[in-house]
Amino acid sequence: MPVGIRPVEGERELREFIELPYRLHAASPLWVPPLRLERRAFLSERLNAYFGHADVELFLARREGRVVGRISAQIDHALNAHQGNDWGQFGFLEVEDDPEAMGALLDAATRWLAERGRDRMVGPMDFTMNDESGILVEGHERAPLIKQPWHPPYYQRLCEQAGLEKAVDLFMWELYIEDRTNVIPAFVEMAEKLEPEHGIRIRKMSRLRLRREMGLFGETYNEAWKGNWGFVPYSESDLKHYGQELQLVYDKNWFMIAEKADTGESVGVAITVPDINQVLKKMNGRLLPFGWWHFLRRRKIVTEVRVGFLGVKPEYQHTGVAAGLYMEHFDMAAATPQTGGEMGWILEDNHAMNRAMEGMGGRLVKRYRIYERAVA
């Protein structure tokens, strides 16, 4: 029977959209089921600030009435305005090992974007590059950390059979940061000189002032990352939404700001998140009946972190701020149960950051691929 594609309408179909990966990956020991409540909130126009600057359509693929795939098509007007392009994106890609279903899903997203004047489709992004993004093409044997997707190997095959082309690869580096023996000595020297020579200190973000701290993060992020492929500046509403997400995973040891000691100006930032996926794995997508208990015990469960953001304003990149942030991570690894984890994603062409990971003794362990397709 042929595959039929239609937009998601109503509560029942939204539930089917959310539930599909729980069925597809139920037999995988690696896939981590997200909280259903969180997924519902993330897809809510009322609760997710992304919808304030984007248009979104969700699609389901069915064969003989059975859901066999899903996809989103979206237009991020903030990205288009900043990048000066007419791109659209696709995301939330989940599908059975079914080339016809994959082709039909991608074609539906392409048509929706073409009808709205887009000239290129890139993805997957759920919804942005800072959410789950890319198709896993290396590292299938490793469990995903927080905000990392996991896919079986056939996803890459189906994407490329459907005519998608590589746009860019994203790297994840493994770094067990309690071990300093592989660190280039220059990093240590630059970190030691940071405050005496440049008047820059590293401090931890405050949970009570996290909303204000997110403003400092946004100021630094919008400067330090602005040259990156696919960059979109954070707006005030984006930062408010992101700050609410971070309240659930905040850890005073790992949220850091580099600032001028005399003025308090933020010059660098690192947001490193304890890998809550280790807890979600035990919760199996639900708070009840016992998921809440695992969440409350998360400090005893979590042994890894993901360095999600680490960047420095361009005018301070010669001062050793990054080295100071790196070495503070080593200090925290020595003082907490989290002795290692993964750094990234890092763009494949960000040679400075990738060399820094090598200099810290890191090992490239995962590669995610963003694809693209011209929209006729």
Domain 3-171 identical in fold to domain 177-338: yes
Q: Is the pLDDT of residue 289 over 60?
A: no
Counting every residue, how long is the chain? 376
Q: Please name every residue paired with 310 in a beta bridge, in sequence order, or none if there are none.
A: 270
CATH class of the domain at 177-338: alpha beta
* pLDDT for the residue 249: 85
Q: What's the chain's Rg over C-alpha atoms?
A: 21
Taking the C-alpha atoms of residue 6 and residue 1, their distance in angstroms, rounded to an integer, is 16
- The structure tokens listed for 148 are 């990392």
- State pLDDT tens for residues 5-58: 999 999 999 999 999 999 999 999 999 999 898 999 999 999 999 999 999 999
Do residues 113 and 12 lie in contact, with contact meaning Cβ atoms separated by under 8 Å? no
High-pLDDT (> 70) share of the chain, %: 94
- State pLDDT tens for residues 214-271: 999 999 999 988 888 888 998 888 998 888 888 888 889 999 999 999 998 899 999 9
Determine the residue type at 80.
Answer: N
In this structure, the number of other CB atoms found within 10 A of the CB of residue 80 comes to 17
Determine the residue type at 239.
Answer: L
Backbone angles phi, psi at 188, to 5 degrees: -65, -45
**Looking at the chain, which runs of residues are DSSP E strands?**
3-7, 54-63, 66-76, 87-95, 120-123, 125-126, 132-133, 135-138, 165-175, 200-204, 255-260, 266-274, 304-312, 340-347, 363-374
* pLDDT for the residue 285: 62
* pLDDT for the residue 185: 83
**CA 355 → CA 77, 187, 312, 321, 352, distances in Å?**
33, 12, 16, 16, 5
Q: Which fold has domain 3-171?
A: Aminopeptidase (3.40.630)
- State pLDDT tens for residues 116-136: 999 999 999 999 998 999 999
Taking the C-alpha atoms of residue 263 and residue 364, their distance in angstroms, rounded to an integer, is 38
Residue tagged 């050793």 (tokens): 320
Taking the C-alpha atoms of residue 225 and residue 277, their distance in angstroms, rounded to an integer, is 26
Q: Please name every residue paired with 202 in a beta bridge, in sequence order, or none if there are none.
A: 258
Q: Please name every residue paired with 227 in a beta bridge, in sequence order, or none if there are none.
A: none
Q: What letter would DSSP give residue 336?
A: S
- Closest listed residue to residue 374, CA positions, set 163, 115, 220, 205: 163
User: What's the pTM value of the predicted model, to 2 decimals?
Assistant: 0.90
Residue ranges of domains in the chain? 3-171, 177-338
Q: Is the pLDDT of residue 293 over 50?
A: no
Q: Is the pLDDT of residue 200 over 60?
A: yes
Do residues 95 and 61 lie in contact, with contact meaning Cβ atoms separated by under 8 Å? yes
In this structure, the number of other CB atoms found within 10 A of the CB of residue 244 comes to 15
Do residues 134 and 124 lie in contact, with contact meaning Cβ atoms separated by under 8 Å? yes
Q: Is the pLDDT of residue 298 over 80?
A: no
- Closest listed residue to residue 145, CA positions, set 335, 279, 41: 279
DSSP code string of 164-217: -EEEEEEEEEEE-TT--TTS-HHHHHHHHHHHHHH-EEEEEPPSTTHHHHHHHH
Do residues 158 and 99 lie in contact, with contact meaning Cβ atoms separated by under 8 Å? yes
Do residues 61 and 3 lie in contact, with contact meaning Cβ atoms separated by under 8 Å? yes
Q: Which H helix or E strand runs over 295?
A: helix 291-296
Taking the C-alpha atoms of residue 93 and residue 126, their distance in angstroms, rounded to an integer, is 9
Helix 154-161 vs helix 99-114: crossing angle, to nearest 10 = 60
Residue tagged 């490239």 (tokens): 364
Helix 210-224 vs helix 236-247: crossing angle, to nearest 10 = 120
Q: Is the pLDDT of residue 344 over 90?
A: no
Residue tagged 């003989």 (tokens): 64
